[in-house]
Structure 1
Amino acid sequence: MSANWTLLAPFPARVITLCLAESRPSVLAVSSLRYLTGVALALPITSLADPLMVFQGGVAWVASIFAIYLYNGVTDIAEDRINGSGRPIARGELRPRTAAAVAAVAAVLSLVATVGLPGPMTWIIAVNLALGYLYSGPPAPLKASSSGTVIVLMLSGLLSYLAGFTVATAGTGEVAPTGLIVFAAAAVCWMVLVGVPAKDLSDIPGDAAAGRRTLGVLIGESAARRMMVVAAPGLLTAFCVAVVVWDVPLVGVLAVMAAGVVAVVVAGTRAVGREQGRAARRRPYETFMATQQLVHVTAVLSNI
């Protein structure tokens, strides 16, 4: 499998480094954690998880996410520059055509990496790549609307857990355990109900200029903040009820999410003046991301 990565050899190391930065390392990290959570929460019902196969599946999944977000950076140039993004394409260090070429190679590699994995993994990766293109690519990118964004986030998020579960169970057709279903539902809702409004806070000017009808553009910054602040504790309550009703071993995850909800509410209610700029408006999103990562780390460590 590692030999396949020689396809990236024509690209200088600096280009690959810039492409990694453009593809958002924090997103790649949390995508890896989602996949590993699908693996970890499958372990109570199977002893079939092969470490090498799990690694190979992780490579395939993360390569697909890398390709998707790199291509997204190529298509987001106008709004990223207006919003003051510091990513390589927006600041002129990485040529869009070069980034698109690397994204295309990575997409192919993600499919090649599924060779030898359970059959459904090829389809999972293919569908994820298709969602990524539909989100960013012509003729009608789904990122232009809040509903399109939500649909892609939900489906891609669920696919990440399905990928981990499929590899861990070697594609034997096992039924997903209740703990994985409850966790996946809570995590996807966290992305949609908290992550979407949090992400929009720093990007409203550029999104509006690019003609995108995101949640932040449609309802404004103040309303987006209120939605995030209300949704976070509401989701925590629903998650707590689910953990109790179905008696799933996610108490540690619940505790971490509770701390994250407090942090998100504090970040979301803090006043932001015009002079504070993009960095201040990104604090709720950064808090959301940190919580998301810690929740997944807790789920993985609690089930291996």
Structure 2
Amino acid sequence: MPGKWTPSAPFPADVLAGARVVALCLAEARPSVLAVSSLRYLTGVALALPITSLAEPARVLQGGLAWVLSIFAIYLFNGVTDITEDRINGSGRPIARGGLSPGTATAVAAGAAVLALVATVGLPGPMSWIIAVNLGLGYLYSGPPAALKGSSGGTVAVLVLSGLLSYLAGFTVATADTGGVAPTGLIVFAATATCWMVMVGVPAKDLSDIPGDAAAGRRTVGVLLGERVSSRLMMVAALTLLAAFCVAVVIWEARLAGVLAAMAAGVTAVVAAGTRVRVRAAEQERGARRRPYKTFMATQHLVHITAVLSNI
């Protein structure tokens, strides 16, 4: 029969084509972003509980699936709406290079959004609202009539709200049956990590995207202030945030010493990368200008992994 597959036969063409589309969509949604989004959720779970307690693993996994599906849908749709600036900036992501059609990506993003909502069935009631609000923020960020990504203020607002929702999602799933209050450690960490994403991540990303953002009419920090000022702002913000985090850990006696050490290492790396951009701005290729952003992302992963491992 046509389409029948046996272990000795090659996979049907439609299966291979579907797998290829999924792989391209995952690449467009930025695997590093999906990974850190998972870590934010898991940090919300880990810091919500005493070290001796464990949330129900199946429920934690289900909640994580719902959250990551919502982020996948948001970033895939963002890729669809970013074609012009991505091509000007020389992005190698599938849509910009023509490997994935915008129509297909939009359909997959819509399907993922629906699945994210379906995945909340059986979870604590607030999770449905958390996922719905996150999807709404994602659409407002990238979609018509007035995409919030066009301004620094809109970008910051969406990042702050979505970032806090990620920790709230983990906390909600972990404490569903207890009605617990968020511990100080979680509050301090969530506030610091969200500020890191906004105060350091936004200018770091702008450094490599200035030409495309300007062509698309965006009023980002990089477009408004230029490459050198943006890099200086990023470095000052990183150092200031590290100092504030240190003070908060001491004052509120938060059990985040390991996270503080990880952030200190990350801040050092970000400042080094930013200094290199400032000194050699005229010579930088896009890949070199992306070093601060890659360092920022690596620091995000490091501090979240440290937080999770320190509390399991």
TM over 0.5, shorter chain: yes
Partner secondary structure for residue 232 of structure 1: helix
Is the CA contact (8 Å cut-off) linking 1:158 and 1:188 kept in structure 2?
yes
Q: How does 1:33-48 map to 2 (within 5 A)?
A: 33-44=39-50, 47=53
Per the alignment, residue 299 of structure 2 pairs with 291
Cα distance in 2, alignment partners of residues 274 and 52 from structure 1: 52
* Aligned equivalent of 1:245, options 227, 247, 251: 251
Cα distance in 1, alignment partners of residues 284 and 228 from structure 2: 16
Cα distance in 2, alignment partners of residues 192 and 259 from structure 1: 19
Q: CA shift at 1:49, angstroms?
A: 1.1
Q: CA shift at 1:47, angstroms?
A: 3.6
Per the alignment, residue 268 of structure 1 pairs with 274
Per the alignment, residue 145 of structure 1 pairs with 151
Per the alignment, residue 59 of structure 2 pairs with 53
Say if 2:69 is the partner of 1:72: no
Partner secondary structure for residue 29 of structure 1: helix
Q: How does 1:52-201 map to 2 (within 5 A)?
A: 52-170=58-176, 172-201=178-207
Per the alignment, residue 5 of structure 1 pairs with none
Cα distance in 1, alignment partners of residues 161 and 281 from structure 2: 36
Residue type of the partner of 1:71? F
Is the CA contact (8 Å cut-off) linking 1:48 and 1:170 kept in structure 2?
no
**How many residues get paired?**
296
Per the alignment, residue 216 of structure 2 pairs with 210
Deviations 1:202-222 (A, max 9, x none): 000000000011111111111
Residue type of the partner of 1:210? A
Per the alignment, residue 12 of structure 2 pairs with none
* Uncovered stretches (5+) of structure 2, i.e. residues with no partner: 1-14
Deviations 1:74-108 (A, max 9, x none): 00000000000000000000000000000000000
Q: CA shift at 1:171, angstroms?
A: 5.5
Residue type of the partner of 1:230? V
* Uncovered stretches (5+) of structure 1, i.e. residues with no partner: 1-8
Cα distance in 2, alignment partners of residues 297 and 231 from structure 1: 22
Q: CA shift at 1:172, angstroms?
A: 3.9
Q: CA shift at 1:170, angstroms?
A: 1.5
* Aligned equivalent of 1:301, options 287, 306, 309: 309
Identity across the alignment (%): 79
Q: Which has the larger radius of gyration?
A: 2
Q: CA shift at 1:10, angstroms?
A: 11
Deviation larger for 11-20 or 55-64: 11-20
Partner secondary structure for residue 50 of structure 2: helix
Deviations 1:32-62 (A, max 9, x none): 0000000000111884611000000000000
* TM-score, length of structure 1 as denominator length: 0.95
Residue type of the partner of 2:304? H
Is the CA contact (8 Å cut-off) linking 1:119 and 1:171 kept in structure 2?
no
Partner secondary structure for residue 208 of structure 2: coil
Deviations 1:135-186 (A, max 9, x none): 0000000000000000000000000000000000126431100000000000
Cα distance in 2, alignment partners of residues 118 and 46 from structure 1: 22
Q: CA shift at 1:276, angstroms?
A: 3.2
